Amino acid sequence: MASQGVTPRSEDYSRWYTDVVQKADLADYAPVRGCMIIKPYGYELWDNIKNGLDKRFKATGHKNAYFPLFIPMSFLKKEAEHVEGFAPELAIVTIGGGETLEEPLVVRPTSETIIGHSFSQWIQSYRDLPLLINQWANVVRWEMRTRLFLRTLEFLWQEGHTAHATAEEAQEETLKMLDIYADFATNDAAIPVIKGLKSKQEKFAGADASYSIEAMMGNKWALQAGTSHNLGQNFAKAFDIKYLDKNNELQYCWTTSWGVSTRMVGAIIMAHGDDKGLRLPPRLAPIQVVAVPIYKTESEKGPVMDAAFRLVESLLSVGIRVHLDEREEVTPGFKFNDWEMRGVPVRMEIGPRDVEKGSVTLARRDIPGKESKQTVPQAGIIPTVTRLLNEIQHNMLEQARKFRDANLHEASNYDEFKQVVEDGWALIWHCGTAECEDKIKEDTKASSRCFPLDLNRDEPLRHAKCVVCGKPAQGKAYFARAY
């Protein structure tokens, strides 16, 4: 049964998503069309995503920096494919302080150009390489069709930018960051992802090659959850990023860029949510355990609250994110529904009987119905809850993996392909051309997701032909409807 005010997923998935974002208090619409206000609960979730990624970046030698929001228009024009790719999405400032600017300024859509300019000043010798920089920032892209967290005019993200001495090092970095994204998605967000190479049509404007992690949402559509780009020497040549090698000869650097955005919040909502609202993986949940005291009389209240405070303090002492719901103006039933909507992994119920017996009732958000509840001793609450949170994290990943794997299908001909992409992901031999991808999009609304690395690494082509046009295949590729 759906929570009050939430459209069932089966009835209207898009409406369900928007309902959950608002009812769970994650975000709200802004006065400017296409922008969003991230509310505290949504921002705490984003903070936990940031922390999970940031520690991984720092462990691999990357340093955080910050670059300006405004970029001279001439910078974007230096890399032809880059400016052409971003032109329709640019927000441009032409007036500042009441005066017409000599040169228009672009509000940051991405920072390859301004960071490339800085790299050209900072790098002189091979001793300065590799240069590994990450930025946490906002960006603006003038999108026409927007949806909270998934696609907004302004969004938050991180963008990594690195410079290397050789093509091999740049490629190694590109794939290393893709692995880091996949590790985060799998182990923190409990979302299984497919790592792959994007087709030429889908690659980043100005890159030699783009890679992505692709995730399946609850309606079987795909979401590109993170990207890593090998920029080759395109930006190095445009911005004169050179270094003196060991032979004292000037060489162009090889650069990369990679990013994950607040779209990851949308991925978590859609990969795990149900008709009762959010289901958050414990590692990212702003509140991991909510304690709900239950009493009817003042004489019951004192002992129940004492027990609740004691249990909450125990869990807080070991770093578990726990919240005590002390609201008196709403019923316990209302609280249960409210915290289910917000996706809190564990609900801890404490009533007069629990006080008498020295027990507490724990309800899991990842399992529906009566099976979700268990009564456990108050003694040993720390190891019990710790174990339960780990179980929930593991179970949510397994649930998402089973769902995804049940909806991945290989198609051997175009008719079969069209049938599969109506309600799942289709894997086909694909030539990689724009003509075939355009035909597929026109016929089915599905788009090329990626050439999965694991399948194309081990699978010989054997003179395979594209399922759509019959030309020689570049490899096996996934297609799906996508956000």
**Closest residue by Cα to residue 478 from 419, 430, 422, 413:** 430
Q: Please tell me whether residues 150 and 76 are part of one structural domain.
A: yes
Co-location of 424 and 369 in the same domain: no
pLDDT score of 79: 82
Q: Note whether 16 and 7 are within 8 A (CB).
A: yes
Quick check: 216 and 222 in contact, CB under 8 A?
yes
- Position 3 in a domain: no
Average pLDDT of the residues in 153-158: 97
Residue 4 phi/psi, 5-degree rounding, is: -55, 130
Same domain, 327 and 433: no
Write the pLDDT tens digit of every residue in 301-326. 999 999 999 999 999 999 999 999 99
Whole-structure pTM value: 0.95
Can you give the three-state secondary structure of 440-453, one letter per residue? HHHHHCCEEEEEEH
SS3 (DSSP) at 482: strand
Q: What is the pLDDT of residue 320?
A: 98
Residue pLDDT, tens place only, 107-152 = 999 999 999 999 999 999 999 999 999 999 999 999 888 999 999 9
Does 119 share its domain with 256?
yes
Q: Is the pLDDT of residue 83 over 90?
A: no
pLDDT of 159 above 50 = yes
Average pLDDT over residues 336-358: 97
Residue 248 covered by a domain: yes
User: pLDDT tens digit string along 267-284?
Assistant: 999 999 999 999 999 999
Give the end of a domain, one of 388, 423, 442: 388
Question: Is pLDDT above 50 for 251?
Answer: yes
Distance CA 274, CA 254 (A): 45
Domain range spanning residue 448?
408-480
Dig out the tokens for 472 from the structure.
């020689």
Taking 60 as the threshold, does the pLDDT of residue 429 lie above it?
Answer: yes
pLDDT for 267: 98
Single residue among 272, 302, 326 that ends a domain in this structure:
272
* DSSP secondary structure letters along 67-82: --SEEEHHHHHTSHHH
Count: domains in the chain: 3
Which domain CATH number covers 346?
Answer: 3.40.50.800
Q: Tell me: do 328 and 462 sit in the same domain.
A: no
Query: Chain-wide mean pLDDT for the chain?
Result: 96
Q: Does a structural domain hold residue 56?
A: yes
DSSP string, 319-377: T--EEE---SSS-HHHHHHHHHHTT-SEEEEE-HHHHHHTEEEEEESSS-SGGGEEEEE
Cis peptide bond N-terminal to 130, omega within 30? yes
Question: Is 398 part of a structural domain of the chain?
Answer: no
Report the pLDDT value the prediction gives residue 461, as an integer from 0 to 100: 66
Tell me the sheet residues that pair with 482: 222
**Assigned domain for 401 exists:** no
Cβ atoms of 441 and 414 within 8 Å: the answer is: no
- What confidence tens digit (pLDDT) does each residue in 1-16 have? 444 679 999 999 999 9
The answer to whether residue 96 is domain-embedded is: yes
Query: Do 268 and 206 have their domain in common?
Result: yes
User: Are residues 179 and 30 part of one domain?
Assistant: yes
For the residues 370-382, what does the mean pLDDT come to?
A: 95
Over range 54-83, report the average pLDDT: 94
pLDDT band at 476 (very low <50, low <70, confident <90, very high): very high
CB atoms within 10 A of CB 283: 21
Report residue 167 as tokens: 């093509």
424 and 373 part of one domain: no
Do residue 294 and residue 237 come from a single domain? no
Segment 64-77 shows an average pLDDT of: 96
Neighbours of 64 (CB within 10 A): 13
Identify whether residues 31 and 134 lie together within a single domain.
yes
The answer to whether 289 touches 343, Cβ cutoff 8 Å, is no
pLDDT at 4: 62
Cβ neighbours of residue 41 under 8 Å, at least 6 residues apart? 24, 25, 26, 286, 342
Q: Do 96 and 177 reside in the same domain of the chain?
A: yes
Task: Establish if 335 belongs to a structural domain.
Answer: yes
pLDDT of residue 219: 97
What CATH code is carried by the domain that includes residue 417?
Answer: 3.30.110.30
450 with 364, same domain: the answer is no
In a domain, 29, yes or no: yes
Per-residue confidence (pLDDT) for residue 370, from 0 to 100:
86
Residues making up the chain, counted from first to last = 483
pLDDT above 50 for 288: yes
Q: Could you give the CA distance from residue 384 to residue 318 in angstroms, rounded to a whole number?
A: 13
DSSP 89: G
Over residues 435-450, mean pLDDT: 98
Domain containing residue 78: CATH number: 3.30.930.10
Q: Which two tokens stand for residue 92?
A: 């441009």
pLDDT over 50 (residue 391): yes
